Amino acid sequence: MRTRPVIAIVGRPNVGKSTLFNRLVGRRLAIVEDTPGVTRDRHFADSEYEFRPVTFVDTGGFVPDSDEDVLAKHVRMQAQAAVEEADIVLFVVDGRVGISGGDQDVARYLRKHERPLILIVNKVDGRRDKELLTSDFHSLALGEPVPVSAEHNIGLDVLCDRLVELLPPAPPYEPPAETPAKGELVKLPKAPDKAAPIRVALVGRPNVGKSTLVNALLGEDRVIVSPIAGTTRDPIDTALVFGGRNVVLTDTAGIRRKSAISQKIEEFSVFGAIRAIENSDVTVLVLDATEAGVDQDQKIASIAEEKGRALLIVVNKWDLIRGEAKEEHYRDSLKWYMKFVSWAPMVFISAKDGHKVSKVLSLALQLFDMQHFRAGTPMLNKIIDHVTTEHALPVVRGKPLKLYYAMQVATAPPSFAIITNAPKDVPDRYVRYVTNYLRSTFNLKVPIRMFWRERPGQKQRAAQGQKFKNRSESIRKAKNRKR
C-alpha cells in the first residue's frame, strides 16, 4: 500500500523541470543543463511539506509525435507512466517562449487523465509583463497558472501553498497521555527499528546492459533501454524487496575515458556515476562479455576498490558467446587482467534473456554481510600466532619484525590493526601475505584494509631507554676522566 502521494513534474523539453525538481526536494539530484532532452528516465525523490510526506518525480520532456525517434518515444512513455502513477501533476511551461504546439499536446493529454494539476509558468524572472505572459496560459484550460522562476527561487512559496492544498491532511497531533510534572523528563516513544536499505549501484561502460539488468531485476520497464550508448544520464534509484531485505538499485550513466567525453552533460553524468559508487554499499560492475576486461573496466573496478566498496563483477551478454568459451577459462582470464580485484566474485548472466539475473542480488546481499563482518580479537591473535609460526618473519633494519597482537578496528570495509615493533618498515610482500591469509581464513570477498601500528607507549619506552643509555655513557666518560 502506497503511503506517500506521488507528484509528477511534466512538460516539454527544456522548460526547467529538473531545476524545479531540485528546488522542491531541497537538493541537487537531477542534472540541469541548458540543453533540451537532458532528463530521460523518471527520477524519484522523497520530501516533506507541512508534515506531509511526498514523492516527487522528474520526467523527460514530451515531444510532438511527428518528431519522435526511438529514444524520444521511450522518454515520452516514461513521462506518461509517471502521470498515470501520480496523485498530483505539476505541468511546467516556459513563460519566455509562450504557448507552443508542444504545450497544447501535453495539455490535451493531461485533460484526459483528470489528475489534480497545477500549471506552472517558469522563467518569468525579470519580466515586467509576467502577468500578461501568465494570462496567456489560461487558454490551456488547466486552472490558474502560477508564475515562478525555479532557477532564482521566485514564486515557489505560492506554488508550495497551492501544492499543500492538494495534499491529504497531515496526521493530527496527539499530546502525551499524561502531563509531566515540572522538571520531569518526557519519555518519547521509541522510533521503529527499520534497517536502512542496502544500496546497490550498477556501473560500467556505456551500452553494457546496466538498464536492461535493472528492468530484468524489477520485472518491468522501469528505465529506458536503447542501443544508443549514453541513454542513461541521471543516477536512477529504484527500491525493491529481495529475500525479505530492502534494496535500492541505482542505475548510472556509462563511464567513459575522460578523453572520450565530448559534452558537458556527459561529464555531469560520469560524476553522478562516481558519486553513486561512493554512496553504495555494493558496487556491481557490469561488463560486456564480447569485450570484457578492457582498460576502462579496470579503471572503474579500481575506483570501487579505492572507495572500499564491496564489488561484484557481472559479465553480461553471455548469451552472445555461450558455447564458444567456458565460464571457468573466461573467469581465469578476466581475473588475470583485473588481478588487483581478483577477490571479487563474478557471475555470468544475460539480462536480455533473464539468465542468472536473480543471482546478482543474492550475491550482492552476501557481499553486504561480508562488508560488516566482525572477527573476535582472540581469533585474530590465534591467526597471528599461526602466521608467525608458519612463515618466518622478515628482518627489517637489522632487527627481526615482531607482531604482538591484532584487532579489528572497523567494518565496511573490514579493517584490521596489527601491533608491531616496526610499523613503517613492514615489507609489502608480507602485508599481502597477511591480508590474503585473513581473507582466506574468514572467506572475505570484499576489500580489506590493514593498519600496522606500534605498541602504545613504545615511543616513551624508547625515549626512556635512550635517556638511560645516555646517562650510562656520561657516567662511563666521567670515570675515564678521573683515571
User: What does the longest C-alpha to C-alpha distance in the chain come to?
Assistant: 116
Domain residue limits, the chain = 6-166, 198-371, 377-459
Q: Residue 206's pLDDT is what?
A: 86
Mean pLDDT of 406-426: 90
> Is residue 192's pLDDT more than 90?
no
> Is residue 442's pLDDT more than 90?
yes
Could you read off the pLDDT of 72-126 as tens digits, one per residue? 565 667 677 778 878 899 999 998 888 888 888 889 888 888 889 999 999 887 6
Give the gyration radius of the chain's Cα atoms: 30
Percentage above 70 pLDDT, the chain: 75
Q: For residue 41, give Cα distances in angstroms to 49, 231, 233, 291.
A: 25, 9, 8, 27
Q: Residue 253's pLDDT is what?
A: 74
Q: Which of 45, 16, 8 is nearest to 149 (CA)?
A: 16
Compute the distance between CA of residue 260 and CA of residue 327 in angstroms, rounded to an integer: 31
User: Would 198-371 and 377-459 be classified into the same CATH topology?
Assistant: no
Class of domain 198-371: alpha beta
Mean pLDDT of 158-164: 89
Mean pLDDT, rounded, of the chain:
79
Q: Which residues contact 458 (CB under 8 A, 6 or more apart)?
A: 421
Compute the distance between CA of residue 24 and CA of residue 41 in angstroms, rounded to an integer: 18
Could you read off the pLDDT of 227-285 as tens digits, one per residue? 444 444 456 788 888 988 999 998 887 776 544 434 443 344 456 677 788 889 999 99
Q: Residue 264's pLDDT is what?
A: 40
Q: Residue 28's pLDDT is what?
A: 61
Element (H, E) at 216: helix 210-218
Number of other CB atoms surrounding residue 187 within 10 Å: 8
* Complete DSSP assignment for 398-436: TEE--EEEEEEEETTTTEEEEEES-GGG--HHHHHHHHH
Class of domain 377-459: alpha beta
Number of other CB atoms surrounding residue 154 within 10 Å: 16
Percentage above 90 pLDDT, the chain: 26
Q: Which fold has domain 6-166?
A: Rossmann fold (3.40.50)
